[in-house]
């Protein structure tokens, strides 16, 4: 009987006992135990297997699981190479992902209740009656009293596991900076809580493993909790979470669905992550891999939705991240001749800087990184380097190196779709009137089903006509390409590439079908002339340039190998008008 696919499964014992497929990561238990440091912070993007690994640590070290060791670990690496500390700890587990953040009172109450629940779970699991001082108002007081009481009761030390340590802080940062600062800085209740944990390491807490997504709280915590070692970008732990290409091949072969074509699509969609600049092997997002396989088994073809809705809801937090640009402090003096207040100057400058970064990422797929921010100081303004670093931590971008220059690049097609989705939302917010995006989606589909692009050109023209003139003034050819691409890439029926390299140069936009039943593919060459720069001769020159480029691209191996189903289009915009649309035969 084939093993079940553990999509969404986070309980190690359930996976091992209920016949789920498990990719062995237990060698890293040994590596962690051999470290000189015993208090570890390890960050990874959402849906990357952090909770499962944390649970694996818990089951391995838990004194309650001594009699289950062979059943759970026997045939794994760590079962064949057990460490001296196996089943030697009481496991205190805490997860801070469900904290309510509406206001200060609710935040503190929710955090406090969360702590109490996990302390009660601790007592229940070990059949203990360590007193929990629930009447205390401060979480720090509750954990201090509990740990002090535990010293008198426990015969072995505690291994503290903390999941999603930063979840509520990331949410606060995007909409309530003041509450964030008040909670985690010098006199904040969160910092005091971790100060008490630090004190506990002198007595009853022997090891700590904390996971999360970003280091957004580490500066605040390290001031009073300066005992942890951040192993996020340690090359020795680059592959601790995520799947290698070899492991994905093994998965596909095990479920008897392997093909070069399927592997290539999964590689384009889910691979590309490196968490150390010198790491040689790139990693796949594991949850997305399991989602894809599950859907493929059900439909016998790749899923229309490249990104599962459950995963997308987490990754779409990019919008909140870009809103952080309002915290940047670069000044401009006037907007349309009007003197701005200090707050308006900062806000408008921030939006422009973030907009420029987003455009750079969409157009080139990458941005240069001078230095990765490893600790964020909430007392100062977040700058552009910090925003780039957060994109790395959240999984939207990953390391790429050219010579001595470090870049952050979009790791794969699924992340590019998320960037494009955000860009279309951003554009639609700037329109002078509401636009229904469904006709645009239908127009995109017509390119692939009917081999007809005029409808799409008209829809883009309609969208541009409703765009605020102040914003449109900064548009040039690359913005038109980004706009078109950001709507085209949302189709589930084709892989859409911008600046696609072929022997004859770079195709502005290329659309390659994902399913055999899709009738057409397309390449599109885009030209643009500002309205006030239009002349008939310049217009004809742009058309001639586009035709010459299309003819050159047609001769390339990549496109020449395609059949007559590959459509070749030219669109020339003059201002907001799609003035010339042609199919090149």
Mean per-residue pLDDT of the chain: 89
pLDDT at 348: 54
Q: Are 294 and 266 in contact (CB under 8 A)?
A: no
CATH class name, domain 12-237: alpha beta
Phi, psi at residue 508, to the nearest 5°? -55, -55
Q: Which helix (H) or strand (E) holds 408?
A: strand 405-409
Residue length of the chain: 585
What are the structural domain ranges in the chain?
A: 12-237, 244-308, 316-426, 430-583
Mean pLDDT over 131-139 rounds to 95
Q: Are 373 and 215 in contact (CB under 8 A)?
A: yes
pLDDT at 562: 62
Query: What are the helix and strand counts (H, E) for the chain?
Result: 25, 15
Give the residue with greater pLDDT, 426 vs 543: 543
pTM: 0.90
Alpha-carbon gap, residue 172 to 522, rounded angstroms? 44
pLDDT at 201: 95
Per-residue model confidence as pLDDT tens digits over 411-432: 999 999 988 888 888 788 878 8
Phi, psi at residue 538, to the nearest 5°? -65, -40
Phi, psi at residue 90, to the nearest 5°? -85, 130
**Angle of helix 260-270 versus helix 286-299 axis, rounded to 10:** 140
The structure tokens listed for 511 are: 């659309």
Beta bridge mates, 95: 163
Mean pLDDT over 158-186 rounds to 82
Per-residue model confidence as pLDDT tens digits over 44-82: 998 899 999 999 999 999 999 999 999 999 999 999 999
Residue 328 has pLDDT above 50, yes or no: no
pLDDT at 470: 72
Per-residue model confidence as pLDDT tens digits over 205-248: 999 999 999 888 877 666 656 788 999 999 999 999 999 999 99
C-alpha dist (Å) from residue 368 to 82, 197, 402? 43, 38, 10
């Amino acid at each position: 009987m084939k093993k079940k696919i553990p999509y969404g499964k986070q309980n190690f014992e359930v996976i091992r006992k209920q016949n789920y497929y498990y990719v062995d990561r237990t060698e890293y238990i040994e590596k962690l135990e051999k470290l000189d440091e015993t208090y570890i912070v390890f960050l990874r993007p959402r849906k990357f297997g952090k909770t499962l690994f944390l649970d694996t640590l818990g089951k391995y070290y838990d004194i309650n699981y001594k009699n289950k060791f062979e059943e759970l670990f026997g045939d794994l690496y760590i079962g064949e190479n057990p460490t001296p500390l196996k089943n030697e700890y009481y496991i205190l587990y805490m997860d801070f992902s469900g904290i309510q953040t509406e206001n200060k009172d609710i935040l503190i109450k929710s955090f406090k209740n969360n702590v109490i629940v996990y302390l009660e779970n601790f007592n229940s699991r070990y059949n203990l009656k360590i007193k929990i001082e629930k009447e205390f108002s401060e979480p720090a007081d509750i954990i201090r009293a509990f740990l002090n009481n535990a010293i008198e009761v426990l015969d072995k030390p505690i291994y503290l596991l903390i999941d999603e340590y930063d979840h509520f802080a990331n949410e606060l940062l995007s909409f309530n900076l003041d509450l964030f600062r008040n909670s985690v800085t010098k006199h904040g209740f969160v910092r005091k809580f971790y100060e008490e944990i630090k004190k506990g390491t002198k007595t009853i807490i022997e090891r700590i493993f904390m996971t999360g997504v970003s280091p957004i709280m580490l500066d605040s915590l390290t001031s009073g909790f300066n005992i942890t070692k951040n192993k996020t970008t340690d090359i020795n732990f680059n592959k601790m979470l995520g799947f290698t290409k070899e492991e994905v091949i093994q998965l596909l072969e095990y479920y008897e669905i392997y093909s070069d074509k399927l592997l290539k699509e999964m590689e384009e969609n889910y691979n590309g992550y490196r968490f150390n600049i010198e790491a040689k092997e790139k990693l796949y997002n594991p949850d997305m891999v399991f989602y894809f396989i599950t859907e493929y088994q059900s439909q016998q073809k790749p899923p229309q939705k490249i990104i599962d809705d459950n995963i997308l809801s987490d990754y779409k937090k990019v919008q909140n991240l870009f809103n952080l640009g309002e915290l940047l402090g670069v000044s401009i003096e006037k907007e349309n001749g009007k003197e701005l207040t200090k707050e308006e100057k900062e806000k408008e400058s921030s939006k422009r800087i973030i907009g420029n970064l987003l455009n750079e990422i969409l157009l080139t797929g990458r941005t240069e990184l001078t230095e990765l921010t490893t600790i964020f100081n909430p007392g100062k303004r977040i700058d552009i380097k910090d925003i780039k670093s957060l994109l790395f931590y959240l999984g939207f971008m990953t390391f790429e190196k050219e010579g001595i220059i470090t870049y952050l690049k979009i790791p794969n097609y699924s992340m590019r779709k998320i960037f494009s989705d955000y860009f279309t939302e951003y554009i639609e917010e700037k329109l002078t009137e509401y636009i229904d995006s469904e006709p645009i989606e239908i127009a995109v589909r017509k390119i692939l089903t009917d081999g007809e692009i005029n409808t799409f050109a008209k829809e883009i023209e309609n969208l541009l006509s409703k765009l605020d003139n102040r914003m449109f003034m900064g548009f040039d050819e690359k913005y038109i390409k980004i706009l078109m691409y950001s709507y085209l890439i949302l189709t589930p029926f084709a892989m859409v590439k911008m600046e696609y390299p072929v022997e004859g140069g770079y195709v502005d936009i290329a659309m390659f079908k994902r399913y055999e039943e899709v009738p057409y593919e397309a390449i599109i060459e885009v030209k643009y002339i500002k309205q006030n720069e239009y002349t008939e001769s310049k217009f004809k020159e742009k058309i001639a340039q586009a035709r010459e480029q299309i003819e050159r691209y047609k001769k390339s191996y990549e496109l020449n190998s395609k059949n007559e189903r590959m459509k070749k289009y030219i669109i020339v915009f003059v201002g907001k008008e799609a003035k010339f649309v042609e199919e090149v035969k």
